[in-house]
Amino acid sequence: MDGFRFDLSKGFTQNVNGPWHAGNYDASRIAILEDYMDAVWETAPGAYNILEHFTDWNEEKELVEYGALVWGGFGIHNEYLEAAMGYSSDLTGASYQSRGWTVPGVLAYMESHDEERMMYKNLQYGNGGLNYSVKDLPTALDRVELANTFFYTIPGPKMLWQFGELGYDYSINTCTNGTVSNDCRLDPKPIRWDYAYQPDRVDVYNNARKLLWLRNHVDLLHTTDFDLNVNGFQKFIYLHADTMEAVVMGNFGIGNATLTADFPENGWYYEYFSGDSLEVNGTTSLDFGPGEFRLYFSKKLQAPTVYTADEEVEETATRLEIFPNPATGGQFFLRVMLPQATEGKATVYDIAGRRRAVLFEEKLPAGETNLTVNHVLEPGIYFIHFQSPSGKIVKKLLVR
Q: Is the pLDDT of residue 63 over 50?
A: yes
| Domain boundary, last residue among 158, 189, 219 | 219
Q: Is the pLDDT of residue 317 over 80?
A: no
Q: Are residues 35 and 66 in the same domain?
A: yes
Q: Is residue 134 part of a domain?
A: yes
Q: Are residues 236 and 214 in the same domain?
A: no
Q: Are residues 212 and 230 in the same domain?
A: no
E strand residue ranges, 340-379: 342-350, 355-364, 367-374
Confidence of residue 169 (pLDDT cuts 50, 70, 90): very high
Q: Is residue 94 part of a domain?
A: yes
Q: Are residues 206 and 251 in the same domain?
A: no
Q: Are residues 230 and 214 in the same domain?
A: no
Mean pLDDT, residues 35-59 taken together:
96
The percent of residues above 90 in pLDDT, for the chain, comes to 77
Q: Are residues 177 and 226 in the same domain?
A: no
Q: Are residues 329 and 230 in the same domain?
A: no
Q: Is the pLDDT of residue 69 over 50?
A: yes
Q: Is residue 307 part of a domain?
A: no
Q: Are residues 203 and 266 in the same domain?
A: no
Q: What is the pLDDT of residue 315?
A: 47
Q: Is the pLDDT of residue 229 over 60?
A: yes
Residues contacting residue 146 through CB under 8 Å, at least 6 positions apart: 83, 84, 250, 252, 291, 292, 293
Q: Report d(CA 318, CA 388) in Å as an integer.
A: 9
Structural domain harbouring 257 = 222-297
Is the pLDDT higher at 60 or at 15? Answer: 60
- Top mean-pLDDT range of 29-43, 178-192, 307-321: 29-43
Q: Are residues 278 and 353 in the same domain?
A: no
Q: What is the pLDDT of residue 390?
A: 78
Is the pLDDT higher at 137 or at 390? Answer: 137
Q: Is the pLDDT of residue 300 over 90?
A: yes
Which CATH number does the domain housing residue 383 bear? 2.60.40.2550
Q: What is the pLDDT of residue 310?
A: 59
Q: Report d(CA 88, CA 231) in Å as an integer.
A: 7
Overall domain count for the chain: 3
DSSP of 139-167:
HHHHHHHHHHHTTTTSSS-EE--TTGGGT
Q: Are residues 164 and 124 in the same domain?
A: yes
Q: Is residue 304 part of a domain?
A: no
DSSP of 217-250:
H-GGGG-S-EEEE-EESEEEEEEE-SS-EEEEEE
| Domain boundary, last residue among 247, 268, 297 | 297
Q: Is residue 147 part of a domain?
A: yes
Mean pLDDT, residues 360-378 taken together:
88
Mean pLDDT, residues 250-276 taken together:
97
Which CATH number does the domain housing residue 293 bear? 2.60.40.1180
Confidence of residue 237 (pLDDT cuts 50, 70, 90): very high
Helix ranges (DSSP H) in 196-350: 199-217, 311-316
Q: What is the pLDDT of residue 311?
A: 47
Q: What is the mean pLDDT of the chain?
A: 93
Confidence of residue 51 (pLDDT cuts 50, 70, 90): very high
Q: Is residue 133 part of a domain?
A: yes
Q: Is the pLDDT of residue 312 over 60?
A: no
Confidence of residue 193 (pLDDT cuts 50, 70, 90): confident
Q: Is residue 303 part of a domain?
A: no
Residues contacting residue 304 through CB under 8 Å, at least 6 positions apart: 209, 210, 213
Give, for 74, the enclosing helix (H) or strand (E). Answer: helix 74-85
Q: Are residues 162 and 23 in the same domain?
A: yes
Q: Are residues 49 and 89 in the same domain?
A: yes
pLDDT tens digit string along 83-103? Answer: 999 999 999 999 999 999 999
Give, for 81, the enclosing helix (H) or strand (E). Answer: helix 74-85
